[in-house]
Chains A and B, each alone.
Chain A
Amino acid sequence: MSSHGNLSAANDPRQPSAAKPYVPPAVAPQDLPVDYSGFIAVIFGLFGVMFRYKLSSWLAIIFCAQSIANMRNYENDLKQVSMAMMFAIMGLVSNYFGYARPGRKS
């Protein structure tokens, strides 16, 4: 390719005067990609708490972990993830340390 081999000063394609520093594009909060795993974590956490379903609470924790791993924008995503984590942990705690239900432990 012609320009690839041109290294002489006259043909140097570089123009230091034209250099512009990088400006990261501002992204409005609504345009951010949807955090599916956080949303699913919230749903599973809700199920786990409401219906006392252990597996659901554990799945909520797993999806919370995935959401944290994929977190890009720390300020925006942290709120949803922390809400999901709260639900999941609440579900787990109420499942394991909740009141002993009659007919369960004989």
Chain B
Amino acid sequence: MARPPCFSLPYFLLLFSVVSLLLSRHHVLADSHFEGFEADDDEELDSLSTESLPLRSPSPLTRSEPVPDPVPDPVPSYPAPESQTADADHPKQPSSTSFEYWDEDEFEGLPIEPPSPETTTPRSADSEDTKPSDRSSDPKASPVRKKAGTSPRSSSYVVEIACGSFLIMFVINYFTGKRENENIALAWAAKFAAKDSIFDKNFSLLGVGDGDDSPLLLKEGQNVFKFYASGRRYCQGLLATMELKSRHDLISRLYNMVVPCKDEINFEVYMNDDAMDHVVFAVAKKKAAKVMHKEVRDLQRFASVLSPPNGRKWVAEELAVISESKEVAGDLISEAALDQVLGEKAFEKHGKGFISMHFSDQHLGTHKKMLLFKFALPNVNNMTDMTRLVALIPYYIDQIGRYKLSAQARSKTDTARTKAAQEAYKELQNARQDALQRKKAEKKRLMEEAEARLSAEAIRKKEAKERSRQMKKGMPRVKMTRAH
């Protein structure tokens, strides 16, 4: 499965934690939602709680006319409202601010009543003002409400402004990032795939279209570019895939500031069937080599990590070699390769972009015989740094194309491969048998279903037929011949 680099599961987990944070924050709000407040923001929650305060204090006072005595009693104590509920005149006797919510739950639907006398009193401030305490409470109520009303309005635009500006930045970054990636890809193509470049000298067909003017690069996504070349001895073709950083995506760009990422180019060379002998070989940096040995199937199965041999020049210290046979490794790591890229001195200067190299004739996938090279792309302006790395490719195509194993090496590799081939064959057989069995079971099931659907009469008929058939079978066979 091809994944864009640096955009993987940890990123997904990070976002899930954000989601869970939002959820947990929402839990608080959801509770208030169920209580009937329907508050969206904390400010509104506060506003409602402050709103309820003015509701509580004047109501016992406004209702003091019919029930003067019990009104002051419920204020301090909790059991008092219970005794007052027996009155049933004004069941709503909120005692103190600490029992607001209890009262709300207890007396649903009633909250509508107190606001109406409360809202009418400020509007008709002069008319019907019986108590001076009303007037004193109104100025208290209205400024409190006004404050509660304005605060969410001014702060409510923060979310919109923040998200809107992020979206604008996202769009701007999309176009700039897209152009940056295109420039990198074009710079690479101009250096290595244009006229008189290394690929032009090695392959007769460049690009993905027909004719001379075919486009060299195929753009598969804003950060994935492909280059195809074909028409060379020993190989059927070469496919280079450039996977660049997601510069067009602002979120990925921010993520890559935390988790570093590289621009990579991946070369796949499809070797001809007769051009490659039994070679399973890989070179990579030490840690990466261990990971490759564990994860890549053919390396895991056939090859092992080699220790540097004594008495001959070997690859640089940071690199490790994985190979099926030491002889093959020794032959492939030739003097020329060491001098150019893989040796100690050369690797320091030119090997910065080298990530890994993997030759296999048992590669998993559509094509079995493949050479895989992975390099890091340099800066737009430093494309020439990669020249020696790219030069490794035609060199190794020829090396592998011409290479023949010695007799002993071949015998060793043969046994391993025949075993692998047998296992593959067995698996294929098993798979085929499973498919056949499944088909048979399906057929049986269908037939049974069809039988079950038949009506009762038809069943009886069938049974009669079956019985007669059985009887015929049981009866002795009487041979009959013609009379004459």
Contacts and interface: CB of A to CB of B under 8 A. Distances in A.
Scoring A18, A55, A102 by chain B CB atoms within 10 A of each residue's CB, the highest score goes to A18
B44 A58 contact: no
Contact of B26 (A7, A16, A33, A51): A51
Interface stretch (B89-97, B227-235, B429-437): B227-235
Interface of A: 1-4, 7, 13-22, 24-25, 31, 33, 36-37, 40, 43-44, 47, 51-56, 58-59, 61-63, 65-66, 69-72, 101-106
Contacts, number: 152
A27 to B, nearest CB: 9
Interface in B34-50: 37-40, 44, 47-48
Given A61-B167, A70-B222, A72-B224, A15 B232 contact: yes
Contacts of A54: 40, 159-160
B395 A106 contact: no
Contacts of B446: none
A104 B44 contact: yes
Interface string B212-245: 0000001011101000101111001101000000
Interface in B195-225: 198, 201-205, 208, 210, 218, 220-222, 224
B391 interface: yes
B22 A70 contact: no
Interface of B: 1-4, 7, 11-12, 15, 19, 22-23, 26, 29-30, 37-40, 44, 47-48, 51, 145, 148-149, 159-160, 163, 166-167, 170-171, 174, 198, 201-205, 208, 210, 218, 220-222, 224, 228, 230-233, 236-237, 239, 246, 248-252, 336, 340, 366, 391-392, 394-395, 397-398
A58 B4 CA distance: 25
A50 B236 CA distance: 56
Given A53-B22, A103-B37, A4 B230 contact: no
